[in-house]
């Protein structure tokens, strides 16, 4: 089906559907004449995107950026770095950090978590 029929079925304007396409929120399927054709899969994908936007109260542009973060490692790293810098994310604990904390507790006279006084003797 053509864009006007697809938009009608989805409850949106053809302009909004074209906007979604420009954002990369539509599967890349075109007919031989460069006209976009919509089938059940394309309608379902658009409907799924609209559902995500409603559920998480986000715009189509925000959804498109989220997809970019998931698909481009450099973008994901830049967003992660910003999240750490502004305190929205915590740096993951590394094994070395855990061992350092355990050693500091031992030096301070504490017992590391998970370690008991030693083997228990039987009477």
Q: How far is CA 31 from CA 35, 37, 39, 40, 63, in A?
A: 5, 6, 11, 15, 26
Of the pLDDT bands very low, low, confident and very high (cuts 50, 70, 90), residue 112 is low
Under DSSP, the state recorded for 7 is: H
Q: Are 21 and 13 in contact (CB under 8 A)?
A: no
Q: Which of 10-24, 38-52, 84-98 is the least confident region?
A: 84-98
Write down the pTM of the prediction.
0.68
Alpha helices in 1-123 (DSSP H): 3-10, 14-23, 40-56, 60-71, 73-85, 95-107
CA torsion through residues 113, 119, 122, 123, sign: negative
pLDDT tens per residue across span 56-106: 999 999 999 999 999 999 999 999 999 999 999 888 766 666 777 778 888
Phi, psi (rounded to 5 degrees) for 23: -80, -10
* Both tokens assigned to 2: 């053509």
């Amino acid at each position: 089906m053509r864009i006007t029929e697809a938009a009608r079925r989805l409850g949106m304007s053809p302009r909004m559907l074209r906007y979604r396409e420009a954002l990369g929120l539509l599967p890349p399927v075109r007919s031989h004449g460069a006209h976009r054709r919509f089938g059940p899969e394309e309608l379902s994908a658009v409907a799924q995107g609209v559902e995500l936007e409603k559920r998480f109260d986000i715009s189509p542009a925000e959804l498109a950026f989220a997809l970019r973060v998931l698909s481009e490692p450099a973008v994901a790293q830049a967003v992660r770095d910003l999240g750490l810098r502004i305190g929205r994310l915590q740096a993951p604990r590394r094994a070395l950090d855990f061992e350092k904390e355990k050693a500091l507790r031992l030096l301070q006279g504490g017992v590391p978590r998970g370690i008991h006084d030693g083997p228990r003797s039987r009477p």
